[in-house]
Every structure is written in structure tokens, then in C-alpha cells.
Structure 1
Amino acid sequence: MTNERIETGWNFDNSYARLPKLLFTSQTPTPVRSPKLIILNGALAKEIGLKTDSLQNEAGVAVFAGNQIPEGAAPLAQAYAGHQFGGFTKLGDGRALLLGEQITPKRERFDIQLKGSGRTPYSRGGDGRAALGPMLREYIISEAMHALGIPTTRSLAVVETGEPVIRETYLPGAILTRVAASHLRVGTFQYAANWGTVEDLRVLADYTLNRHYPKVESGEGQYLSLLKEVIKRQAKLIAKWQLVGFIHGVMNTDNMTISGETIDYGPCAFMDTYDLDTVFSSIDQQGRYAYGNQPYIGGWNLARFAETLLPLLHEDENEAVKIAQEAISEYMELYRGYWLEGMRAKLGIFNEEAVDNSLIDDLLGMMQKYRADYTNTFRALTMDKPEETAMFGTPEFIQWHKQWEERLGRQEESKEVSQQLMQNSNPVVIPRNHRVEEALEAAVNQGDYSVMESLLQVLSNPFTVSPKHEEYCTLPAPSNQPYRTYCGT
């Protein structure tokens, strides 16, 4: 091992680069003028075996900027396809490069990707760059998701490039270093299935099984097992999104990972007022990816994944379709089970009763009717302060609250134990949209990162009740203009 590796902790392997060549293009990042480290995730760096001190010196920052390739890395842009708002197209990393895979001291494997590192063959006319605001947004939201216990890609660092990017105006450029279990997507399989051979597809599937599902036994049925495992992880993931009011905003098939991690934080946001029709993304004009549609879009995307595996499921196409359909048909029941389990926990319920469905649905119906804040409603119930809910005093809430207390009384666990379950299941704070915007405005327009640092500190302990958290629980001021988020490309 060289001095550089010893000093920094970088320990690269490049297993993806050993896959069929149609799945990537080898390429180095485009150097930037004067990189400056904006934020480093010290806890994550240590977790994956890196030395934080050396990452902050000139050579360390040069790696995050793409100006220097660490020893052992083999940068490449990944090819993939995707259904974007329903329409199928050929895609790929248009502004990102995979440096390689960091092997941690625990022998875990994580992708290290630079986002905003310059043009690639898949840029489709874009400049391959990223603006500071969207990269900081991904840092904030992805780390908040991690603290909430939701599988997600992570953010290791953001550097400012010293070069502007042109969108509607001139904006400061930046590069995000993203850490992921992998960047394998449904769209990766769509690319292999459409433009590769069956053998290419088989190699990709075997690689995925080895990397993410090593407990699946090889042999007959292993590709059906792969499909079922991905279905299970996505059902669980999307249930977790729904349980905290997270809206991804752009659930295209190229944004659905095979590992079950949340990826790509473009026009994402967290819901304030409970409403199934909530949409924040400026490009989702029809509400395809609205909050209430996310579970169904998850199933649609998984059906597209199943289609790619048909040649591996059975040599007879009709039989393969039947096998795939049977597997996909289990998705919604799996999702509903994970979601119900999570909703019971949010209400302090340990066991199962038939009345739970109506108890949960009635509460959500009242929340929608009275435009209740999603997070704060469950927070108020957790803290036994029903008077702080928007529905307090209404006949239906009085009736519901009585039924809920009777339901809790029918289980063996004490009220204190139920309350502890609720505290562990209901975040006190989420990345409120107006707080995120406040942090980004201060950082990008004023060079003041203290607002973002304070926000990140609070979001790192989302289930903790603290006086410091109170101001982050307040709702935004009323506005005639709906909140809109943008993809940042």
C-alpha cells in the first residue's frame, strides 16, 4: 500500500469496470479552476475508512474536485436507460463519474461518485456541471434521510469549483461526492436488456446478486429470487418514505436503485400539510409522482424491472411473463404490510387488530379534511398533547381519540411503553422546505454556512425532543404561491 493510501485511507476496487463494456465509458473528470471545500461529512468519512485531516488538505480537496485521481481509482460514466414520466429513453451519467468502490476496513464496498464533474458521452448536450445550491440540497436531504433510518445514498463532501454554471442565470458551480451501496438502477437493467445480449444481462444480474444479495443461492430460481428481493426492498423503502411524508419528485426508473436505497435528490421535499395530491416538483405537471401515487409508481417501476429479467426467468416467454406477474402481484401487499406496521408504531400499537385499518384511515382522513400538518400531528399525539392538533375539539376527533385510547388499552404493553414506541417512530423535526431554502439562500447568496450547519445538527437527531428543536417545528408563513422545487440540472 502506498503512502497516499495510508495517509488518506482511499482503498479502491473497480468491480463495475469489469462488467460488459456497453454498460460504461471510461473517462476522467474535467479539472476545475480553484476548488474550495465547503463541507465534509467527517462521520461518514471515518465510517468508510478515510482520514478526515488528509481529506481537507490541498491534495484531498483535489480528489473531491476531480483534479486528481486517487491511486487505484478507475473513473467511468455509467450507461443506463429509463422511463422518464412514462416515456422510455437512453440515458447515462451525464454529469457524474464513478471513481471506483471504496473497500472499508470492515470489507464493505461503497461506490464513490463525483456529481457535477464535467461532460460525458451521455451528457445529451448538457455542460456536465452542477450548481452549488442543488448539491447542498442533496447533502442536507440525504443526511436527514439517513438520520431518519431510511436507506439512502450519502453525501461525503461538497466543493465549490470556482467556476460559474449557466442556468437561467450565472450560479456558483459545485461538485458533490456521493457514497452509495451501488449505483445499479432499474435503468441499468433496461439498458442491458435493450442494447445488450442475454449474456450481458446475465452477467449484470449475477454481479448484482453477488454484490447486494449474496445470501441468494445460485442455480435455478436465482433470478426470480433477485426480482423478489428487489421488490421487497423497494416496498419497504417506499413505505418508509410515506411514513415520514417524503416526496421524491421524480420516480423515473433510472432513479430506482437495485440495492433499495433512495437516490437522486432533485425536486424532492417533505410534506407539511397532509394531502395525498401533494406535488412539489416543477416538472411534474400531471401529478404522476404525487405523494399518494408513490406506492403505485413503485409497483409500475418494478414491473419494468421484471420485464428486463424475462429472458433469465424462463426460456419460454409466456412462462417467464407468468412468473414475473406472480412476483409483481406480491408488491402491493408487501408495501401495505410494511406501511401498516409503520403506522401502528406511529400510534403506539404493538399487535394487530382488524380495526387498525379504519383507525389509521380515519385519522388520515381527518388530517386531510382539516389541513393538519403531518409531522406535527403525530408529534402532538406522541407527547399526549391532542390540543395541538388541527382537529382538536371536532366531534370526529373526539370519537377517534376515544377509539384510539381503547385500542391501546387492549394490548399488553403499558402506556409508557407505547409512548416510547411512538417517540422512536415519529420524528420531531424534518427538513422543512422553508428551513432548507433559508439555509441554501444564506450559503449560496451570502456565503454564510452557519444556517446550514445548525440545520444539519438538528436533523442529525430527528427523534430528540429538545428546546433547540422547537423553532424547526414551526410551519412556514402562509403564501399564495405553492412551494416548488427544481431538478437542479
Structure 2
Amino acid sequence: MNLNSLQFDNAWMRLPEAFYSRVSPTTWRDTRVLDVSPLGAAQLDMDSDSIDRECLEALMAGRELLPGMAPIAQKYTGHQFGTYNPALGDGRGLLLGEAMTIQGAMDLHLKGAGQTPYSRFGDGRAVLRSSIREYLAGEAMSGLGIPTTTALAVAINGERVMRERVEPGATLLRLSPSHARFGHVEWLYQRRKTEDMQALLWHLIHRHRPEFAEAERPFEAFFADAVERTANLIAAWQAYGFVHAVMNTDNMSLLGLTLDYGPYAFMERYKPDWTPNHTDAGGRYAFDQQPGVGLWNLTVLAQSLTPLIDVERLRGMLDEYEPTLQSTYAQLMRARLGLTAKKDDDHSPGDASLTAAWLKLLEQHQADFHNAFRALGNYRSDADSRWQLANALEIAPEDKALETWLDDYDRRLQQESRGAEARKLAMDAVNPCYVLRTHLAQEVIEAAEAGDSAPLRCFRERLASPFSRHVGDGDDWFLPPAITAPPVCLSCSS
């Protein structure tokens, strides 16, 4: 099956016309596909090797559309850093069409497609740097099992684009079951378009949550689902050290997907109040603020739904956010620590206390967040293992905090039924050895800008299956940045 075989049902265009503007993609010269994702191809029921590169390049250059495509720019609004902005919408991306696959509908969204009525002062273009970063993010998050948008391919073109510097232009063919955002509902609430809001929710229910169509209160079921999925999503972000860095409500998916990768980063040396976004001076979207921001964003969404759902019922559903997030986070962290049965804090030691103390240890010694968990999988509750773990964490073996934590960990492991080898296998299955580190992504970007896309493919392959070490790999794909490296500091153009 090739791209021209895709069947499109552009249901978004059956919504009121105010939901979108019809826009044709801008044509970009000298477009060349750098990489095609097997994951993205599989989401379209295809094999990446069978995709016609000429057809794909024509699509990503804006020269040709596939039969049945009807490109549009979606209109929405949202709160940006806590302030409502009514002027938002797809400013540099177009929903080319909604393909019907075995799994259901799949948006094909061309990012970097040119100016739209919602571009404001933007040029509608994308640069290679940000496009590669988003492409790799979809692979990495999917590899970790975290809900996300993905991409079929990334392409470079012959345009030169001015951001912090002059950079190569690019396009990204993004995939998602839907690009519906909290900001879509906010926009309709602000315009007092209650009937249009009903039309949007029914569209999302029939298309993506059909089990709610027969519920006693379908809209409440949809909102409760959004609360649960958002809580689970952010719990996974916290468990794996992911910082989105721009959690504006227009960047929040109604389907609970990680959406709109900008100045994101994965944690390196553990610093819980860290944000990689240099424009976020107040730390609103710092790593440790993400759970609270998720609730704040859901509260804005709940307010927008008050024309359709009773306020007290909305509050009741919002009350489920924190316990859901905490439960999911605890489950993920138990797995990362190699624990099975749940042990509450009335045991000695309790799982929550053990997890918090582990993270405090990493913070105090600025240990690498990811390699620390991987190293812990090799621990065997003996003196040699203690020394090896201390060395891996760059902590003195006689450190009292480490000794105390390992004593508690040993007592907790005694309550487990499986042995050390089984625990290591289980921990290696949830603790990645390959992580989307910013300095490695930058090396890939620089190679691609110089005409070499092989490192991009190599890194993508490892991020897509991050838990098993690839045969023949040295240290290049594993090592964190040097402790003397400056902190990651990115802009929204990233």
C-alpha cells in the first residue's frame, strides 16, 4: 500500500466553517526527504521501504496533494503563560487530510507549510532544527510508551529561514488521530458558540471515543476521559524526566497526547525545578510544576464546558485528576525501581518515601537521571554492588545518604518474591539505555545540515527501541553531557 492508496474522510470540514480556513501549502524548492519513520508508516498501514519517495517529497514540498486531501488551517485560541490569546490557530501548519486506517482516523499535518490567516507576524516556515527535534521526540516518546503525536517523515528544503540565525528550511509530516486541543473548546466558549461546541464534542466522540455515544451523559464521559488521560500523560512525563516547557492550553491535546514539541528536553543531571525554555524566566512550566499546570489547564477546559456540563459535576471530575496522576506515577516509579507489589508508607520503607529519597539523592549529587535507573538494575544487595552503583552515580561509596537509601532499598527488596536476575530483566524493560539527549540531537541536526542524514536514522532507530542495547554500540549514544557543559537553554523556535 502506498501513499496514493490512502483513503481520506475529512470530517473536520463537516464542522462549521468558522472552525478552519482553506489554505493551500506553499511550494518549497529543492525539497529532500531525510528520513521516513517505520513507526509512522505502520500507523498508515504501510511499510516505510515501500513508500514512493518522489511522491512523498512532492507532498512535503507543497507541490502536490494526494487524491482526497483537502488542506485547512484550524482555528483555536488558548492561554499562553496564563494569559488568554484570542488570535491563535495553525500559523505554520496545515491539516492536509484525515486518512482512514485500520486503527481509525489519522491526521496528516504538514508543519512548515507556509503562512495562514492565523500566522500573525510569523513567516509560516519551519527550520530543520525544530523539525528534526519534533521528529525524534515522537520516536522517543513512542519508544517509552508515552502517548504522543508522531511523524511519517522529515524533509529539508532549499529555503533559508531567519530565526536566531539563518537556518535551512524544512517540513515535517506529522501524524495524530486528531489535533483537537483544549484551545478549540476555549475558543467556542469565549465566542458563546454553544451549539458549535456541541458539534465539536459529538465529532470527537463519534470519531475517537464511540463508547461514550451511548452513555447517559456523553459530554461528561468525554471530559472525565480527558482528565484521566491528561493525568496519566503527565505522570509518565514525570516518571521519565520529560519537560514539555510550553504547556499552554493550545498545546494540550483533548485526546491526551503529547502535542507541539518546542523547547522540550529530557532531564539530564536531576534538577526538579529545571526548565529548558529561556523565555520562561519564572519557571511556570518547570519540570516540577507540570502536574499543577496540567490541573490548571484542565480547570480552564472545565470552565469552557460550563454551558454544557453542571459546574459541580465538573468539579467532581477534576477531583479525580490528582489521585489518578499520583497512582499512575507511583506505579511507573515502582517499576523503574524494580518493585512489584504495592507497599504503602505504613510499611518500612514505603514506596512513596523510597522514591522521594532516591530522587533527592540524585538531586543532591546531580546524578544523571536516566543512567541512574539503568545502573540500579545491576544492583545485587552486596558490598561490590554498592561500590559499583556509587561509582555509576558519581557518589562516594561511603556517602551516608546513599548508604541509608540502599539499606532501605535492601529491606524493601526482601519483600519482593522475584530474584535479582528477574528484577534486572524487568528493570531493563522499563529503564531506557537510549534517551533523547539534547546534545545528541544537536549533533544529529548539525550532521543533517551538513548533508549527512545517517546519524538521524541511527538515533531514530535507537530511540524507537530504547530499552535494548544495539549490538556494536560504543558510548556515543549513552553518555550524558559533560558536567562542565552549560545547561540546556532553548527557545520556542526550537
Report the TM-score range of the alignment, normalised by the length of the smaller protein.
Answer: over 0.9
Counterparts of 1:51 and 1:331 in 2: how far apart (Å)? 39
Partner residue in 1 for 2:468: 464
Partner residue in 2 for 1:409: 414
State, as a whole percentage, how many aligned pairs show the same letter. Answer: 36
Question: Is residue 2:22 matched to residue 1:36?
Answer: no
Q: Which amino acid counterpart does residue 140 of structure 2 have in structure 1? A: A
Q: How does 1:95-244 map to 2 (within 5 A)?
A: 95-104=92-101, 106=102, 108-218=104-214, 220-244=216-240
Counterparts of 1:469 and 1:337 in 2: how far apart (Å)? 37
Counterparts of 1:279 and 1:438 in 2: how far apart (Å)? 21
Question: Is residue 2:312 matched to residue 1:322?
Answer: yes
Q: Which amino acid counterpart does residue 418 of structure 1 have in structure 2? A: R
> Does the C-alpha gap of structure 1 residues 406 and 110 become closer, same or farther in structure 2, counting only changes over 3 Å?
same
Partner residue in 2 for 1:359: 354
Q: How does 1:291-370 map to 2 (within 5 A)?
A: 291-313=287-309, 320-354=310-344, 355-370=350-365
Counterparts of 1:480 and 1:429 in 2: how far apart (Å)? 20
Q: Which runs of 5+ in 1 are unaligned?
A: 314-319
> Does the C-alpha gap of structure 1 residues 121 and 250 become closer, same or farther in structure 2, counting only changes over 3 Å?
same
Whether contact under 8 Å (2:9, 2:98) holds in the other structure is yes
Q: Which runs of 5+ in 2 are unaligned?
A: 345-349, 380-387
Question: Is residue 2:16 matched to residue 1:24?
Answer: no
Question: Is residue 2:488 matched to residue 1:483?
Answer: yes
Deviations 1:428-484 (A, max 9, x none): 12011111111111212x222222222222222211135516332212123363221
Question: Is residue 2:243 matched to residue 1:247?
Answer: yes
Q: Which amino acid counterpart does residue 430 of structure 1 have in structure 2? A: V
User: Could you tell me which of 386, 390, 399 is aligned with 2:389?
Assistant: 386
Partner residue in 2 for 1:426: 431
> Does the C-alpha gap of structure 1 residues 46 and 407 become closer, same or farther in structure 2, counting only changes over 3 Å?
closer
C-alpha displacement at 1:420, in angstroms? 2.3
Whether contact under 8 Å (1:100, 1:113) holds in the other structure is yes
Taking only aligned residues, the RMSD between alpha carbons, in angstroms, comes to: 1.8
Residue 307 of structure 2 aligns to a residue whose secondary structure is: helix
Deviations 1:118-175 (A, max 9, x none): 1100000211111111101111121111111111111111222322222243221111
Counterparts of 1:152 and 1:216 in 2: how far apart (Å)? 22
Whether contact under 8 Å (1:273, 1:372) holds in the other structure is yes
Q: Which amino acid counterpart does residue 463 of structure 1 have in structure 2? A: F
Q: Which amino acid counterpart does residue 459 of structure 2 have in structure 1? A: L
Whether contact under 8 Å (1:22, 1:196) holds in the other structure is no
Q: Which amino acid counterpart does residue 468 of structure 1 have in structure 2? A: D
> Does the C-alpha gap of structure 1 residues 21 and 138 become closer, same or farther in structure 2, counting only changes over 3 Å?
same
C-alpha displacement at 1:52, in angstroms? 4.6
TM-score normalised according to structure 1 size: 0.93
Counterparts of 1:52 and 1:428 in 2: how far apart (Å)? 25
Question: Is residue 2:5 matched to residue 1:9?
Answer: yes
Whether contact under 8 Å (2:182, 2:301) holds in the other structure is yes
C-alpha displacement at 1:219, in angstroms? 5.0
Residue 210 of structure 2 aligns to a residue whose secondary structure is: coil
User: Could you tell me which of 78, 90, 95 is aligned with 1:93?
Assistant: 90
Deviations 1:368-416 (A, max 9, x none): 1111111111111012242322344312211211221221211333333
Q: Which amino acid counterpart does residue 405 of structure 2 have in structure 1? A: W
Counterparts of 2:284 and 2:2 in 1: how far apart (Å)? 49
Counterparts of 2:221 and 2:321 in 1: how far apart (Å)? 14
Whether contact under 8 Å (2:156, 2:168) holds in the other structure is yes
Whether contact under 8 Å (2:138, 2:148) holds in the other structure is yes
State how many pairs are aligned: 477
Q: Which amino acid counterpart does residue 168 of structure 2 have in structure 1? A: P
| Between 23-32 and 414-423, the greater mean CA deviation after superposition | 414-423
Whether contact under 8 Å (2:3, 2:66) holds in the other structure is no
